[in-house]
Amino acid sequence: MKNLMTSKWKVGYLVMLFVLVSSGTAIATGTGQTVNYGGMSVTELQNKIATLEIGLGTYVVGKKMTPEQQAVAEKSSAYKSYPGTVKFKDQDIFVIADQETKVVIALYVRNKQATQDDFKAMIGGLMMRFGEPTAEAHGKTIYWNYAADGLLSEELYRSVKEKGLLETLGVLATVKFSSSQNVDELSLKAKEEKDEKVGNEKMQVTSDNYVMIQSDVLTGKYLGN
């Protein structure tokens, strides 16, 4: 991805991508026309998103929570959420679920004081789980965009964007990583920290990082959009 990763990160990523593709990770290869999800019901959208198998920990967006997960929700659901939903925290994962059906709607994690090691672990985990990112923005945000048939490739996304036809991609759900620091700079500093020291302490640059997984069209149903 242009300006997204240093060459060493890119090489490491390609190795991980080979493993992911070999194990059956779905990658969308093309699109023909504008996809309109607006006419689908909440249940239809949830079922469609569930087939993408995108989530955090043991939670998957679009799937009903297990009895164990529902028990966690009942114990820690004192968070404000939009109508018809419940929000709770399971360890470091925030979960937003349908209050009636117990289906997961959105997931996110946040580390406000992430070290370089935290950053490396988060990015590495995301790439291992979701594959090569679809796009990046402003050097601080990375997206994995999913259509109904799987992950949209960077090449397809860039080609369609250049033609002004992004609406034809039919993005159904998105995994979004965002950092308060530039991703390339964090990658470089993480490498430099292995050798550089100030006195007896390693140099540390922290960042505010978060990962959000959701479907804008599904969320819009709950917000009445």
Please give the distance of CA 133 from its chain centroid, rounded to a whole number: 9
> Domain residue spans in the chain?
7-195+203-223
DSSP states along 118-154 = HHHHHHHHHHHHH-S-SEEETTTEEEEEEETTEEEPH
Name the percent of the chain lying above pLDDT 90.
51
CA dihedral 53, 56, 59, 61 (to 10 degrees): -50
Nearest to 63 by CA among 53, 72, 78: 53
DSSP for residue 171: -
Q: What pLDDT does residue 193 have?
A: 55
Cβ(90)–Cβ(59) below 8 Å:
yes
Q: What pLDDT does residue 140 have?
A: 87
The enclosing H or E element of 53 equals none
**pLDDT surpasses 70 at 137:** yes
Q: Exposed/middle/buried for 100, CB within 10 Å: 0-12, 13-18, 19+?
A: exposed
**pLDDT surpasses 80 at 195:** no
* Mean per-residue pLDDT, 116-137: 90
| Maximum separation of any 2 CA atoms in the chain, in Å | 62
Name the percent of the chain lying above pLDDT 70.
75
Adjacent-strand bridge partners of 135 = 143
Reported pTM: 0.78
**pLDDT surpasses 90 at 197:** no
CA dihedral 200, 205, 207, 211 (to 10 degrees): -70
Question: Each residue of 173-191: pLDDT tens digit?
Answer: 999 999 888 776 666 655 5
Confidence band of 119 (pLDDT split at 50, 70, 90):
confident
Q: What pLDDT does residue 58 have?
A: 96
**pLDDT surpasses 90 at 35:** no
C-alpha 88/C-alpha 139 separation (Å) is 31
